[in-house]
């Protein structure tokens, strides 16, 4: 009989809890405060977290003052492609990555990989070791390159990130023995390629202004650094001849298999890490688009077309 009474009381308690009005959370202390009798108001919903706008790296050269000596690098002579967007850098990296000794991964965006040092703690501690934030970043970048070489089993690494045009000064400081490939394309070819992108909404003037941001520092780098210049039009029209010369500069033997880049594994095609168009996915070198409307180029861009030998 006592068990029956206990069961009835337990059911009554559970039923009472189920019918009790909702409780709200007090503003302070997190204590629960009962709602007023008969209230049907529900607890307020937490505001949706607004998505913070992703900061994009600046499209200009940042000048630094270097205050500590360079430490030894695991990769003493990496190769950096200095090129604008839409200049065939993904095709070039596919061809190079098809070489048995060359690892040319997707865009690495090294200049956006940063470290933070707390002023009173890690900054002071690293200073006692002869390191500062910039040099620690260089050490980190170097380790990333070295790790990729270890994974690939190759011994020459190439980074083709277009943002390198604004970082060649820093890259040449971090790696005094680095090699540089300057990849050029007719400015009108770059503009038209940008204009043909899916969902493009930029005007002609906006596209030209964007291209100019790449060409100015690229030409400064060509004048300041020793390197090897490749034209996209030559790469597509005469790939073997162009790649043979590039192999000499990189101090590797020419390998005919480089031309059949579609027969090699180059990893996934990931957004913002290189070209993903049908042309590049075809695995075959496609002819460069014929230049039309070259007379429409602004005087600023026409200057580079003439400087680079385009009629």
Grouped pLDDT means (10 residues each) for the chain, 311 residues: 56 57 43 41 52 75 95 98 95 97 96 94 94 98 98 98 97 98 96 89 95 97 98 97 98 97 82 70 80 86 95 72
Distant-in-sequence, close-in-space partners of 52: CB < 8 Å, separation ≥ 6? none
Whether 144 is in a domain gets the answer yes
**Residue-level pLDDT at 174:** 98
Whether 76 is in a domain gets the answer no
Whether 158 is in a domain gets the answer yes
CA 148/CA 158 separation, integer angstroms? 10
Task: Tell me the CATH number at 211.
Answer: 3.40.50.300
**Residue-level pLDDT at 295:** 83
Whether 78 is in a domain gets the answer no
Whether 70 is in a domain gets the answer no
**Residue-level pLDDT at 265:** 79
CA 54/CA 305 separation, integer angstroms? 34
**Residue-level pLDDT at 17:** 57
Whether 82 is in a domain gets the answer no
Whether 5 is in a domain gets the answer no
Here the tokens at position 110 are 């090294």
Distant-in-sequence, close-in-space partners of 58: CB < 8 Å, separation ≥ 6? 166
Our count of domains for the chain comes to 1
- Residue-number span of the structural domain to which 227 is assigned: 87-264+274-307
CA 263/CA 261 separation, integer angstroms? 5
Whether 36 is in a domain gets the answer no
């Amino acid at each position: 009989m006592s068990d029956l009474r206990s069961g009835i009381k337990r059911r009554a308690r559970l039923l009472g809890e189920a019918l009790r009005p909702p409780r709200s959370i007090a503003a302070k202390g997190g204590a629960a405060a009962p709602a007023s009798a008969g209230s049907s108001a529900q607890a307020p919903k937490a505001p949706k977290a607004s998505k913070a706008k992703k900061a994009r790296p600046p499209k200009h050269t940042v000048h630094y003052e270097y205050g500590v000596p360079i430490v030894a690098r695991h990769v003493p002579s990496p190769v950096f492609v200095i090129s604008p967007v839409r200049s065939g850098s993904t095709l070039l990296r596919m061809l190079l990555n098809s070489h048995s000794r060359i690892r040319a991964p997707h865009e690495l965006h090294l200049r956006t990989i940063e470290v933070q040092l707390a002023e009173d703690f890690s900054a002071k501690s690293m200073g006692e070791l002869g390191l500062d934030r910039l040099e620690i970043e260089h050490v980190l970048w170097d380790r990333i390159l070295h790790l990729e070489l270890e994974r690939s089993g190759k011994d020459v690494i190439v980074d083709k990130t277009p943002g390198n045009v604004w970082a060649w000064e820093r890259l040449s400081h971090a790696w005094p023995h680095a090699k540089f490939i300057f990849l050029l394309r007719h400015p009108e070819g770059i503009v038209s390629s940008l204009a043909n992108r899916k969902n493009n909404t930029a005007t002609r003037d906006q596209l030209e202004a964007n291209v100019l941001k790449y060409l100015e520092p690229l030409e400064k780098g060509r004048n300041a650094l020793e390197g090897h210049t490749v034209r996209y039009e030559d790469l597509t029209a005469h790939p073997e001849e162009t790649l043979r010369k590039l192999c000499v500069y990189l101090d590797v033997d020419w390998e005919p298999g480089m031309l059949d880049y579609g027969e090699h594994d180059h990893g996934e095609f990931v957004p913002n890490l290189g070209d993903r168009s049908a042309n590049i996915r075809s695995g075959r070198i496609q002819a460069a688009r014929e230049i039309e409307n070259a007379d429409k180029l602004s005087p600023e861009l026409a200057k580079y077309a003439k400087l680079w030998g385009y009629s």
